[in-house]
Structure 1
Amino acid sequence: MTVKVTMPGKRSGLTFSQLRLYLCFLMYCWVLADPVCGYFLKNCTIRGNLSDPSNMKVLCYNRNLEVIPKDIPLKVSNLDLAMNKISKIEKLDFTDLSNLKILNMSINQISQVDDGALGHLDALQELGLAHNRLTTLSDHLFQGLANLSLLHLDNNLIATISSSSFQPLSSLKTVNLTKNNLYNMKVVQAIVQLPHLQELYIGSNRFTSFQSQEISNTSIELRLLDLSRNPLEIFRITADVFPYLEVLDIAYCGQLGRMEWDVLNRSFLSNVNRLNLSGIEMSFERMGMVLQTVNSSLVYLRLQDLVNGSRLKVKALTDIACHIPTLNVLRLEYNNIGNLSEEFVQSCKHMIEVDISNTNLFQLSDFSFRPLEQIRTLKMGHNRLSSVPKATRNLPTLTVLDLSFNIINKLGCSDFSNLTGLTQLFLFHNQISNVPGCVFQDLKELRILKLGSNKILTLHDAFMNGLHKLETLLMAGNKLSSIRKGEFKSLVSLKNLFLFDNQIASMEDGAFEGLVNLTELQLDSNKITQTDIRNTVLTGLPLLRTLDISCNYITYVNDDKLDPPPFSHLTSLENLRIFSQRHKGLSHLPINFLEGLKSLLSFQAGSLNIKDLHPKTFIHTPRLWFLDISKNEFTALTPKLFHPTPRLNSLYLSKARLQSLDFLIGANLSRVTFLQVSKNDITVVNETVLQSLPALTYLDMQDNPFTCGCSDAWFVQWMESDNQTQVVGAGEFTCNYPADLKDTKLLDVELQFCTVDLGLYCYISTTCLVLLTLVASFAYHFLKWQVIYGYYLFLAFLYDTKQRKKHKPHGCQYDAFISYNAHDEPWVLRELLPELEGKQGWKLCLHHRDFQPGKPIIDNIMDGIYRSRKTICVISHRYLESEWCSREIQVASFRLFDEQKDVLILVFLEEIPTHQLSPYHRMRKLVKRRTYLSWPRNGEHIVLFWQQLRLALETKDGPAEENPILSGVQAL
């Protein structure tokens, strides 16, 4: 149940309360006329649009939910409730979600599903219930799911499956029951009889036998069967029930090497082309029988991590496998081979891919792979090789060579000789420190080269020979300190160059010349400074689309123009990332920093310690579509900043210390659909702001210190009203002010009294005004003397009330409120404050010191004036021009005239002629009737000035006690 909190009154003063309620009404009475539409889900986020149900995805994962939310849109097609604490699915949880096609409830605590709870999901195609606590699958659990094709039930506690549980699933193609407590193979019988079932995963259960007669007496269409990690003692097929089976996984099955294999006829598994025997507990002889059974069809074989897998046993099984004429992929990972001789793969002439990663390899004979006449992919990663094996040379058919994660420390000129067909070479995570220019000279067809995470210090001529067709080069995670001119000039086909996470501190002019086809350049996480980001370095890159220079040491002392601009040659660049510059951050963004980037679509510039952006910053990027300037120190921005970017679609401004979104008004952002302004200092949202974003569909304002009052009444109604703009996390918006509502949910605050029907109000007001005019006219005509008599009685009542209030204690907190303009603050702090507080002992109320943070400015002004005995107005030309100063003197004069108290003292810092005061009629009246002082112009009579100001502060409130010395104008 939602608890509503009623807004309390702010002040007991009759006149002030009426004034503020009237202003509140004027500002928000049109909230019902809603030109923009908003909506939110309390615990979820929507990806897509409510108007397009086919692509709508609702994300509720990892929200600590204990029950299924009730506010899920009825037309949702994809619902993700994973990683929560839901323990039960009740019968009405998914009512009316007839459009739902994908439901993921994995990683919860579900132990119970009511019968028929899923029956309303007629269109459901994929259901994820993995990693829960289900123990039984009942008769009616899947009732109504005739269109379901994928079902995940792995990692539960299922021990019992009803015989009719799967009967409604006539379209089911894949079932995953891995890692449960199933022990009787008969429970699988109902599953495999489904007419369209193709894949069945029942690994990591408690099955001790697999016998075809327990499953089916007729052939089934199963294509994949996973029985891995079961304690099988026997695998028996006595009839041709699996004529279409292509993938069989019995890895890590059996116990103590006693697993039996009994397939009555080799033709029963004649279509199996992928077999996994890794870690199987079976004798060598029976494993040979298995391989003989699939001798006519096997293409892919995994023999990794064999039990008691001595080198001889692995070799013997390899020999048997390699005699299978159809086999072309052999994976032997996690076996202890150590030393690989030519005889090891002697029989594998037709092998296309061999994987001997993680086999403790440290030595190979020079001709180990000579028998592999058709080899295309050779993987030897995660071993102990200290150099490139000679055995890999002279393999003209080889296209992929993986030597990653070894201890290779040196490359030689002949290491890759005659590998003329090689297209991919992986050497990352080794200890290579130098790359001679002759190393890659024979690799004419190489497309991908990965040398990351080594110890390479310099490049020199490493890429000068060969590599003319190289498209991707990974050099990340090395120790490069500089990029010299022409080091990449031979790589004319290169498209992707990754140099991140090095120690690059300098780049010569023309460092990337020759890379005419380069589209992506990553230079992030180096030691690059602003002196290296210049157009003479970033030249010769006509097709560059993505440039990443984030996490470096680039900084600018001001936003002055750069001559020349750094990116003037990158006319094709679409994505630029410069976020998170180290040390002091970027600090300033030069006005022409982006000049030349006419194709730029995405600009990521977060965490740069920027305090301001020049209005012309984006004048050179008219196609900008994505902008992230989060985690900076803006506090305020100007609408002109966004005028050059009419195509902007996504704007990220989170954690930027923004106090208002008013800069979006008139910013020409009619195409923005995504706006993130979370973790700022925004207290109130102006309705005009959202009116200026007509295409907005996603708004994130989480973790802002909202003021809960009439100022946010329209915003609350807007969030709850319609279905155009999703307000993310609106249910968690909390109040920061007023103090008695702090930490209260914004949506729990009762704000209906702020919303008024404008038409009804106007009707009532005009009707009352007309009636009042008629009544007054008739009353004056017929009851003239009675009205006059009543008027004087009313005056007497007011006078009596005022006299009685005079004797009540004031309870003032300050002796004086100081009203002044910011330009006069030095005089207040150097002259006024030391004298009145330091010497005379008065207690003053000052803006910067005594105003309450987060509280509206007008409330701070009202409280400051009414909690002070006097108000001292420091008058200057700037003061008269200031809107806030005008508000302060109006409030003070209102108190003076309303309460008839001598609370106002005027101090003139400058000569202001009377005719200049004429526009400020209230000021002029005060000058004529009240005390004012002038600051000495020539530095004399200062002591007298302070004496007169002290007398003015000592003067009582009533007009009768006014000090005669201070009457009139005091010119010193």
Structure 2
Amino acid sequence: MATILILALASIFRLSLGDQHPVIESNDVIANFSYSTWTSVPKNLSVHTTILDLSHNFIQKLQTKDFDFLLDLRVLIISYNQITEMDSHVFDDNIYLEYLDLSNNRLENISNTFPGNLRHLDVSSNNFTTLSVCRGVTNLLQLEYLGLGAANILKSDLESVSHLQLQQVFIDLNGLYKYENSSLLVLNTNSLHLSSLYDQKDLFSVLFDAVKTSTVLELSNFGKWELGKVYDDYISAIVNNSRVTHLTLRNLGLQWINLVHILQKIWYSTLEGLYVYNFIIQGFITHMPFDYCKTTMKELLFDHVAVQGFLFNQSDLYSVFSEMNIKNLTITNSNLLFMPCPSKPSTFEYIDLSRNAVTDSIFQGCSMLTKLKTLKLSGNKLEKLSKVSLITEKMVSLQHLDVSQNPLDYMEEDCHWSASIRKLDMTYCSLSSSVFRCLPKNATMVDLRKNDILEVPLEITYLLNLENLDLGYNRLSDLPDCTLFPRLSILSVEYNLLPYPSNEALKNCSGLKHINMGNNPFHCFCEMNRFINERIKSPGKFLGWPDDYVCERPDNLKGIKLKDFYLPEMYCNVFIMVPVIVVPIIVGLILVFCLCKYLDIPWFCKMVWQLVRTKHRSRSSKKGYQELRREFSFHAFVSYSENDASWVRNTLLPSIQSMNDIRICQHERNFTPGKTIVENIINCIDNSYKSIFVLSPHFVQSEWCHYELYFAHHKLYSESTDNLILILLEPIPQYLIPSRYFKLKALMKQRTYLEWPKEKSKHALFWANLRAAISINLSELEQESPAPVPSVST
């Protein structure tokens, strides 16, 4: 947060003070009270404050007590207030003060002594009559910047600072009443900045001295110069006596004829660089002859140029610049429509026509720019990428091309780039992935940030010399195939849509020296482990690590830095997962199976399930119990083989009959004499609620048992009752059951039967199931069963 504040304040200072802004350090304590309507210096300041901004308030007086506790104060900006008075010792305790700005106030006189460490002092734009303030800065031997201004500029005042080695002097000439000739010449400075001179009568006197004072001269806010032929000699004298090598003009207006005239004059001077900002070309524009010979001029810059006239020949204006025999030409923010091709081989090495209205017809077929190394056409109206390539086709020395911020489009046309292009800037152009089919083959650096690129096609022409590729702020979902660029050493894919780089892409890009993948929506799953491992192997390779590498998904990890993300390898590696997880599971299942087998748990489960089902059926048939009590004489009829009679008499019947007076129909005692065996079987089955069949290998060999099973089976389907109970006394292999016993086979497949367990521990559950199967109360029957009859062998 402190860093952001520092950068923000630095930007403010640059805007208000130009290049002369205070140096802000990381440990500075900043107090910004600008634009806060203060009428006096606030008292709630930290004693550790090092930078204090009180500009643009309503403070009228500065007192000693205002700053005496700020012992660490290094920068004080108190410009644009209403200060009329200051205590003479107001800054005595601020021994570390280096930067003091008192400009744009209402001071009429200063008798203060300033701290000896002062490097920057600006007292311009006050109400000084003379520059007597200079006498108070005589001892400031470390002073580098001095800002002044007064109604009268006298040589004697400026002589007080003539011994100081000043890097820059700023003089506000607004309201100048008198200028003493040769006053500026006593200054010892590398750069002189004069501002706001509107009086034409002093213009040439001031300029004549200014051009001889310093090699770097800036003139700002000079209004509109109305120069006639009478001033021709003055201009010649100024130019001929000038030692200025770099001249800056700001907020100036000239007639077209005067502009060309002055340019022609300074063309023969010592001037090497001319920089013009916020310039207005007035009057009618016509063709003007211009002699480009014998010049030391190397650089010409026009920024924010406006033409007041509308009807003029574009060539009359632009040809003056296109034919110049200089190295650097810059015309920006000026609504420039086109620039004609020079009529002869040009000396231009640098041309910047950014932020104009140039179309892709500029320099088409131009073969005169053979020395041009840098061409900047950003922020214009270029549309066809193939036409842009034709602009460069005959520029045999072109190395850097900037066509960013243009509405470019590529429709698979042939491209004809200059073979010399090494650096190409195409940011903010809304280009798609097809742009890779139209790139200079010999380019070493390509900047394609902020476009609409989804992928890098595999079928593109190999860029064998490409070393730096910037694909930030696009829509890539994976790294490009770096094998397409064998010399690639720097790759940027920040702010794309990479969930995680694939293993193959990381492997193909392992030869990169630097890669920036920060600020992508990373998915922190198993696939991310490989990337993190690659980063550990190459700690200096990934730019922006670790702050720019943050998890986006899953939601529970959102915001977690990748350096803090950890997922055990066993969750991601199948070869580790099998022995660590799968094998124990298999072993556990085998142990469970063996344990179940040993304890016969499946049998217990089976019996419990039968018990539950029986209870459910019993509850479902509860409504018919009243009718059943009137119709049945026995709870159950038992059918068994004579070979199993001992188990039935000694085990089954005693256990059943002990269950709440359950009545059992037995052929040995309940068959009626005189009736046939078949009739007795049918009567017993009809008069019994249930039919119990004791199944064993002996049962399937008994003919009578088959009859009993047949009639019980018939009753099961004819009456739709659940009256069968099968007890498997001994296992019966399927091959022992005769084919004529198909009903028994069907019943054993369809019906659940009770198995008689050999272990005594299981007997209790067996009897519970059987009791539930015979769950009906027949205690209210009025008739007793017939007397026992002789046994009939079955």
Q: Deviations over 1:491-529 (max 9, x none)?
A: 25x2x321122243353776435325x13x222333434
Residue 358 of structure 1: SS of its match in structure 2? strand
Q: Which segment is superposed worse, 424-433 or 134-143?
A: 134-143
Residues 668-705 of structure 1 show CA distances to partners (whole Å, capped at 9, x for unaligned) of x8xx5xx7x9xxxxxxxx9x99xxxxxxxxxxxxxxxx
Q: Please name the residue that 1:729 is paired with.
A: none
| Residue 287 in structure 1 maps to residue 206 in structure 2 | no
Partner of 2:410: 481
Question: Displacement of 1:102 after TM fit?
Answer: 2.7
Shift of 1:374: 1.6
Q: 2 CA distance for matches of 1:577 and 1:271?
A: 51
Which has the higher relative contact order, 1 or 2, with Cα contacts under 8 A spaced 6 or more apart?
A: 1
Distance 1:913 1:145, change over 3 A: closer
The alignment status of 1:597 with 2:518, answered yes or no, reads no
Structure 2 counterpart of 1:465: 394
Counterpart residue number, 1:234: 152
* Letter matched to residue 254 of structure 2: I
Structure 2 residue 98 is matched with structure 1 residue 186: no
- 2:107 partner letter: Y
Match of 2:334 in 1: 406
Distance (Å, rounded) in 1 between the aligned partners of 2:216 and 2:431 = 44
In the TM superposition, what whole-angstrom CA distance separates every residue of 1:723-755 from its partner, at most 9, and x where no partner exists?
Answer: xxxxxxxxxxxxxxxxxxxxxxxxxxxxxxxxx
3-state SS of paired residue (1:382): strand
Among 550, 559, 571, the residue aligned to 1:653: 550
Whole-Å Cα distance in 2 between the matches of residues 162 and 252 of structure 1?
A: 27
1:418 to 322, 345, 354: 345
Q: Structure 1: how far apart are the matches of 2:506 and 2:769?
A: 62
Whether contact under 8 Å (1:82, 1:105) holds in the other structure is: no
The answer on whether the counterparts of 1:625 and 1:650 sit within 8 Å (CA) in structure 2 is no
Change (3 A) 1:186 1:579: closer
Cα distance in 2 for residues equivalent to 1:551 and 1:312: 57
String of CA shifts for 1:405-464, please: whole Å, max 9, x gaps. 23343454436x433253343344223222445436434152453444332413343222
Question: Which residue identity lines up with residue 139 of structure 1 in the other structure?
Answer: T
Whole-Å Cα distance in 2 between the matches of residues 947 and 573 of structure 1?
Answer: 81
Please name the residue that 2:92 is paired with. Answer: 167
- The equivalent residue for 1:751 is none
Q: Give yes or no for contact 1:242–1:268 (8 Å, CA) kept in 2.
A: no
Distance 1:372 1:462, change over 3 A: same
State the match for 1:490 in structure 2.
Answer: 419
Residue 296 to residue 627, structure 1, CA distance change in 2 (3 Å): closer
Please state if 1:103 is matched with 2:20. no
Q: 1:934 to 1:502 in 2, by over 3 A?
A: farther
Q: Deviations over 1:315-341 (max 9, x none)?
A: 878656434421233333433325246
Question: What residue number does 1:274 align with?
Answer: 191
The verdict on how the C-alpha distance between 1:499 and 1:265 changes in structure 2, with shifts beyond 3 A counting, is closer
Work out the CA distance in 2 between the residues paired with 1:314 and 1:601.
64
1:551-700 matches, within 5 Å, as: 551-552=474-475, 554=476, 565=481, 567-570=483-486, 572-577=488-493, 579-580=495-496, 590-598=502-510, 599=512, 601-604=514-517, 606=519, 614-615=527-528, 618=531, 622-623=537-538, 625=540, 649-650=546-547, 652-653=549-550, 655-660=552-557
Q: State the 1:345 CA deviation.
A: 3.1
Counterparts of 1:234 and 1:968, CA distance in 2: 124
Shift of the 660–590 alpha-carbon distance from structure 1 to 2, 3 Å rule, reads: closer
User: For residues 147 and 185 of structure 1, do their structure 2 counterparts lie closer, same or farther at Cα, with a shift above 3 Å needed?
Assistant: same
- Residue identity opposite 1:177 in structure 2: L
RMSD: 5.6
Q: Which residue of 2 aligns with 1:834?
A: none
The answer for the alignment partner of 2:145 in structure 1 is: 224
Deviations along 1:56-95, one digit per CA (max 9) or x if unpaired, are: xx55849xxxxxxxxxxxxxxx999999xxxxxxxxxxxx
User: Which structure has the greater CA radius of gyration?
Assistant: 2
Among 99, 113, 116, the residue aligned to 1:195: 116
> Is the contact between residue 131 and residue 148 of structure 2 (CA under 8 Å) also seen in structure 1?
no
SS in 1 for 2:555: coil
Matched residue, 1:502 = 429
Alpha carbons of 1:578 and 1:661: their partners in 2 closer, same or farther (altered >3 Å)? closer
SS in 2 for 1:186: coil
Question: Which residue number corresponds to residue 353 of structure 1?
Answer: 273
- SS of equivalent residue, structure 1 residue 209: coil
Which of residues 243, 246, 249 in structure 1 aligns to 2:170? 249
Q: Distance in 2 between matches of 1:289 and 1:507?
A: 62
| SS across alignment from 2:89 | coil
Matches within 5 A, 1:737-886: none
How many residues are aligned here?
Answer: 575
Task: Tell me if the contact between 1:79 and 1:103 (Cα under 8 Å) persists in the aligned partners.
Answer: no
Measured in 2, the distance between the counterparts of 1:60 and 1:407 equals 35
How far apart, CA to CA, are the structure 1 residues paired with 2:161 and 2:430? 59
Please list the CA deviations of residues 620-670 of structure 1 after superposition, one character each: whole Å capped at 9, or x if unmatched: 7753657699xxxxxxxxxxxxxxxxxx64452165453149999xxxx8x
Q: 2:218 aligns with which of 273, 289, 302?
A: 302
1:451-500 Cα offsets, whole Å, 9 max, x none, are 443324133432222342524534442423257666335125x2x32112
Asked whether the 8 Å contact 2:121–2:145 carries over to 1, the reply is yes
The DSSP-based 3-state class of the residue aligned with 2:178 is strand
Q: Deviations over 1:820-859 (max 9, x none)?
A: xxxxxxxxxxxxxxxxxxxxxxxxxxxxxxxxxxxxxxxx
**CA distance in 2: counterparts of 1:366 and 1:542, whole angstroms:** 46
Q: How far, CA to CA, are the matches of 1:435 and 1:157 in structure 2?
A: 53
What TM-score do the two structures reach when normalised by structure 1?
A: 0.49
CA contact (8 A) 2:84 2:106 kept: yes
TM-score between the two structures when normalised by the length of structure 2: 0.58
Which residue identity does 2:177 align to in structure 1?
A: E
The residue that corresponds to 2:369 in the other structure is 442
1:515 aligns with 2:464: no
What secondary structure is seen at the aligned counterpart in 2 of 1:175? strand
Q: 1:79 to 1:513 in 2, by over 3 A?
A: closer
User: Does the CA-based 8 Å contact 1:512-1:537 persist in structure 2?
Assistant: no
Matched residue type, 2:376: L
Q: Distance in 2 between matches of 1:913 and 1:944?
A: 36
Paired residues of 1:464 and 1:488 also in contact (CA < 8 A):
yes
Structure 1, unpaired ranges of 5+: 1-44, 46-57, 63-77, 84-98, 557-561, 630-647, 678-685, 690-877, 883-911, 949-963
Q: Secondary structure at the match of 2:252?
A: coil
- Structure 1 residues 429 and 421: alpha-carbon distance in aligned structure 2, compared to 1, 3 A threshold: closer
5 Å-filtered alignment, 1:912-923, equals 915-916=592-593
How far, CA to CA, are the matches of 2:618 and 2:304 in structure 1?
A: 87
Contact 2:371 2:395 in 1 (8 A): yes
AA paired with 1:379? Answer: L
Amino acid at match of 2:122: Y
Counterpart CA distance in 1 for 2:619 and 2:245 is: 101
Contact kept, 8 Å, 2:611 with 2:769, in 1: the verdict is no
* Cα distance, 1:264–1:917 mapped onto 2, change above 3 Å: farther
The offset of 1:357, in angstroms, is: 4.1
Cα distance 1:248–1:650, how it changes in 2: closer, same or farther (>3 A)?
Answer: closer
One-letter code aligned to 2:490? E
C-alpha spacing 1:549/1:485, structure 2 compared with 1 (3 Å): farther
* Residue 72 (structure 1) aligns with: none
Separation in 1 of the partners of 2:183 and 2:619? 113
Letter in 2 for 1:596: N
Going from structure 1 to structure 2, the CA distance change for 1:914 and 1:535 (only over 3 Å counts) comes to closer
Deviation of 1:395 (Å): 3.5
- Deviation of the 1:172 alpha carbon: 4.1
CA contact (8 A) 2:190 2:214 kept: yes
